[in-house]
Amino acid sequence: MMRPPTLNIFPSQPMHVEPSSTKGNAGFVSSGSEKSSEPSIMELSKSKNNVLSTTSGPEPKIPKREWNRKGQNSGSEQNAPKTTDHKTLRRLAQNREAARKSRIRKKAYIQQLESSRIRLAQLEQELQRARSQGFHFAGNALLGGDQGLPNNIGNMTSDAAVFDMEYSRWLEEHHRLMCELRNAVTEHFPENDLRIYVENCVTHYDEMMNLKSMLVKSDVFHLISGMWKTPAERCFIWMGDFRPSELIKIILSQIEPLTEQQFVGICGLQQSTQEAEEALSQGLENLNQSVSDTIVSDALLANCPQNMANYMGQMALAINKLSTIEGFVRQADNLRHQTIHRLHQILTSRQAARCFLAIAEYFHRLRALSSLWVARPRQE
């Protein structure tokens, strides 16, 4: 059948190139020429793009989505409401509050370190000034006589001064922790949340034990004398600090009601603590008696030249015996440390919180009693 010629809208060759002569009858279209006259898919797409570009103008820009550093869309999708449970929101709020408190504690600690550095520098200047005036601090005596210094400068070494400043910082931090713990108990925090506050208190007691263990090596007599505590606290001091058995007596009325198992555990702890205290006290008493017997033997003949060698030998023996005091103080601190941790294990979190609050209140009242004693009106 004859097919009328059609207009070639999409030519396969450029318009300026003349088409080649076709073979055969012009009225008939062969299958090969029919295939070549039809535009290909690629050519259709190119021509379509050209038509669109000429008719519609520049291509509109597609808005890009902005992404933040965490990979979240900052557009409207981020503003879409999210279904978050109450526990997650509470945990996030607690994390933010903990981070804020941590920053505050860090800033306060840096300020305390700076003030401690200034106070230590002032103390060193006072020591140098006292040395320049002719004082000798070994044995707390003057170079030319046997009279002791009237102030506490000669009684304190540099390690003891640093310990006293660190103890003051520890008391301030302890007061802050007790305020937080009292607030948690008053507002009836859940048991899991209350456990965190109690563990912070136990860790804070551990820091104090570490400070004392460092001072024992350099100046054990500063701990035993109790000069780092208030006068009222010194009345109850035992081997450098409190008696563990006294703490158990204080808290017994504050942690009730107790289960039968808890009551048995606390009674057993109290008995073992008292036995250990008696053994340490007896050992320290025997040591004091032995040192006293060593230094008073042949006391009237010590100034004789022929007995000078015997005198030096006795003093060396007394020094060796006296060095064992460090062991007694370490054992006493270990007993205090074990008592606090054992109470933490026996009691529940709420009972342990009341326990630490009672202990803190007891020592706070002793310090307040010392302040009132110093400020009391005196009569002639």
Burial class (CB in 10 A: 0-12, 13-18, 19+), 347: buried
pTM, 2 dp: 0.59
42-90 tens-digit pLDDT? 555 555 455 444 444 455 555 445 454 444 544 444 444 455 688 888 8
How many Cα neighbours within 13 Å face the side chain of 120?
Answer: 16
Residue 334: inside a domain: yes
Residue 232: inside a domain: yes
Residue 29: inside a domain: no
Tokens of 267: 């009674």
Place of tokens 């503003």: 79
Domain span at residue 253 reads: 107-128+151-361
Place of tokens 């279209």: 29
Tell me which of 3-7, 136-140, 335-339, 371-375 is least confident.
Answer: 136-140
Residue 30: inside a domain: no
CA-based radius of gyration for the chain: 44
> How many distinct structural domains can be found in the chain?
1
Containing H/E element for 74?
none
Residue 338: inside a domain: yes
Residue 274: inside a domain: yes
Sequential DSSP letters for 311-379: HHHHHHHHHHHHTTHHHHHHHHHHHHHHHHHHHHHHS-HHHHHHHHHHHHHHHHHHHHHHHHHHTS---
97-153 tens-digit pLDDT? 888 888 888 888 887 777 777 777 777 776 666 666 544 343 333 333 333 333 444
Counting every residue written for the chain, the total comes to 380
Residue 332: inside a domain: yes
Residue 59: inside a domain: no
